[in-house]
A and B are shown apart, each in its own frame.
Chain A
Amino acid sequence: AQSVTQLDSQVPVFEEAPVELRCNYSSSVSVYLFWYVQYPNQGLQLLLKYLSGSTLVKGINGFEAEFNKSQTSFHLRKPSVHISDTAEYFCAVTGGGASYDKVIFGPGTSLSVIP
């Protein structure tokens, strides 16, 4: 069965500094990968997704992620964070086989941007 690991539960970073949020997944089949963001008291919204093709994916708000099949990773990066990036970030992977309709979410990483 597919699973998602987000190695850091909390990441504090100073404003305008770069950030990387780590995500690893386990799967024996090809999957689609997603990063979602959740601002306080809101639902999740898509940041970016990898379906196929180029392993470097660009998303909204200056975020990008790189798919690494050999390391089964999909780390999220931003070269310079802003206060408004403070939120919870979820990595997600589609289920495989009969569960392909489902998306399995990681536990989340709380990003705190310090002024």
Chain B
Amino acid sequence: DAGVIQSPRHEVTEMGQEVTLRCKPISGHDYLFWYRQTMMRGLELLIYFNNNVPIDDSGMPEDRFSAKMPNASFSTLKIQPSEPRDSAVYFCASSPSRAHTQYFGPGTRLTVL
């Protein structure tokens, strides 16, 4: 298996623009997690899905952030409009079952100018 795939690996955009991050989980994994990592706040869970259904989005910072999982093999995290404080590394992770090992993607480094 190729592991969790994220695209793009790097994204540089200007404030106010829409940003879409993509994730392909490992086939057969029922759980998908989106995290944000910054020096100041560490690793934060934004939202997670079980069988394509959003279970907990309490970590989403504000309404500018949205996430979808239209099928078992694809998820997106969208920021609209983007702001400089959104600059971070965004990770997607998948897991085969609850409370199991999470498998992380390589991350997307987002820079908002």
Contacts and interface: CB of A to CB of B under 8 A. Distances in A.
Interface of A: 32, 34, 41-46, 49, 90, 94, 99-105, 107-108
Contact of B42 (A45, A49, A105): A105
B12 interface: no
Nearest to A31: B99
Give the dominant DSSP class at B's interface. strand
A110 to B, nearest CB: 11
Given A102-B48, A108-B43, 20 more contacts: A34-B101, A41-B106, A43-B93, A43-B104, A44-B43, A44-B93, A44-B104, A45-B103, A46-B102, A99-B56, A100-B98, A100-B99, A101-B31, A101-B56, A101-B98, A101-B99, A102-B45, A103-B99, A104-B45, A105-B43
Contact of A101 (B43, B48, B106): B48
B13 to A, nearest CB: 20
Interface of B: 4, 31, 42-43, 45, 48, 50, 55-56, 91, 93, 98-99, 101-107
B54 to A, nearest CB: 12
Contact of B99 (A41, A45, A90, A94): A94
B101 A43 contact: no
A100 B50 CA distance: 12
B56 A49 contact: no
Contacts of B43: 44, 90, 105, 108
A94 B99 CA distance: 6
B91 to A, nearest CB: 6
B3 to A, nearest CB: 9
A46 B101 contact: yes
Nearest to A103: B102
Contacts of A42: 106-107
Nearest to A106: B42
Contacts of A41: 106
B42 A107 contact: yes
A46 B43 CA distance: 15
Given A32-B99, A99-B56, A101-B48, A44 B91 contact: yes
Contacts of B107: 42-43
